[in-house]
Structure 1
Amino acid sequence: MESTTKQASSRKRDQAASLNSRKTGGFWKLFKQQRYLYLMSLPFVIWAFIFSYVPLWGWLMAFQEYKPARSFFAQKWVGFDQFITLFQDQQFYLALRNTLAMSFLGLIFGFIFPVIFAILLNEVRGMIFKRTVQTVSYLPHFVSWVVVAGIVTKALSTDGGIINELLVSLHIIDQPIQFMAQGQWFWGIVTASDVWKEMGWSTIIYLAAITGIDQEQYEASRVDGAGRFRQMWHITLPGMRTTIIVLLIMSIGHLVSIGFEKQFLLGNNLVTDYSQVLDLYALKYGLEMNRYSYGTAISIFNSVISIILLFTANGIFKRTTKESIM
């Protein structure tokens, strides 16, 4: 009996070793076949390592009372004091609220409008008109936020702003509204500006996904009497599902890392309670006040939450839709 058990165990080890050998041999065989692709990707791997991974050593500053004049080993170590101070600051929670609010608004409308626009644009039969609309729609992506902020501010101005002029002429309002001076309008202004700027660019990705759908499905549906709306609902949208889910997962991972350009350029002292996001908070209460360790602690918080959100969203979609990015 003992001899039989040893033989079975030996066979399992041999099988495992053989499987590992085949996997290793298969990898090197694939590497040899695609060596030029690996060589082409090497510069980007090096770039990502230098600019994304090497700087992570700077996270140690969050556990120090960092002073630029001292060497790294002469810094005073303070443990988690920076994080304790961070979580006790009311301004931090205000910035977190604003960040999450604008992130969720951007996530919802930044996904709905490009998907709808891509589907509608795909239904256009005139190629010249279709390409013209597509080109015009994605041009704002190449315009800097400095220019966009100037356009938005001028359009919402009480002195000749086109939005106020239109609302007054239609008798919707009696007098111009100071949109840029009222905090309750700020989140909507930022979201609308972002959607206008990026919608056309996001549409390109969805149009590419639509072109990958088998055209025979549309022909078969037309034979069965399906109209355009049913084709969009039952063929186009399901065909875009993988692309939508992948982009949605990646966007969820960046919920707390939305940058600060839009808020910095469109905000002012009158709407600070609604415009200050985590990146602006780190800039104002970290770098501008020479509190480098405190600013690093805020960045670590952003990164950790982003990683948690990314893995959580990926896990949920992997269980429910069998789609994932990892």
Structure 2
Amino acid sequence: MTGEDDPYRRARHLAEAGRDADAEAELRAALAEEPGDADLLTLLGYVLRRRCDYPGALRACDAAIAAGPALADAHAERAESLMALVRDADAIAAAREAARLAPQEPAGHLVLARALAGAGRHDEARAAARHGLSLAPQSVAALLTVADVERRAGRRQEAERAAREALAIDPESAYGRWLLAMLDAERLRVGRSLRALREVARDDPARPDVISMTWPVRSLLSALRRWLPAAVALVAVVAFAARWWAPAAGASRLLAALFAAVVAGFALRVLVPAGRLPWRCLRLVPGPLRRVTVGRAVTVVAMVALLCAYAMTGLGLILIPALVAAPVLGGLRAVERERR
């Protein structure tokens, strides 16, 4: 079946209108009559992926490839599902096959670029993205893929340039506006980033990206995870040294106060401009991710409170629970990665 057939066309239009449940129902009804139609199965994989049913999307793509092994779109969509499941090596292999089957089509090269970027192979990803762009220089999708790959590689200026080129062609591109908002987030332009994310969500109320709108909270916790345990450990080492060198006791209390003040200042810098929006959105994210984020926040608050208590009292035993909390913070981060 091709895109000219009514069931495929109707399902495609429903998906483009954001009516993914209706599109899925249309596709399943059509597949009941033609279960081996590779185009319908590929589109079903796309719709299921949009509905976050990644295992189901992968099964649909596998069935599409079994029905039409030479269908490049099926391999490309399979790569997208594998990326969502964080199976980087398999995603790269599927994307390479899509690019091999349709070397003059940009789509396969673009999904390959995203798969390589997801695996941290930034130079290869940039080369694949640029090649895809060379095949379609005015393609918004190609420009946004270049922007995405450059952003992941830490090249923010290049990413912003490509995103703005895409938006010059299509000013309403939700993904282009989202990319610019996230680039602002990485530069701690908190208010501007959240305003842009709110506008993107307003334009597509059926699928608001509530996870992105919690970035001030999650980014703050991620930054603190990197150095707060080391700060607590340093305070503990200096406090322990006071057994042999008395001035170290005062130094450890001063360090504890300094680290607590730095955390408070950074939190104010990020959270005050953000207002209540990230916290309201946090209530809407998937339960496991919400619980992990709240757990990390509680752990950080407890560690900072213990630092403050030690700075005020000088009681070394107070540092023991702070040290115990450090691996808890790292463990919660690992759980968050698995949940996502």
Work out whether the TM-score is over 0.5: no
Structure with the bigger RCO (C-alpha within 8 Å, sep 6+) is 1
Report which of the two structures shows the higher radius of gyration computed on alpha carbons. Answer: 1
Which band: TM-score by shorter chain? under 0.3
State the TM-score, normalizing by the size of structure 2: 0.22
Structure-1-length-normalised TM-score: 0.23
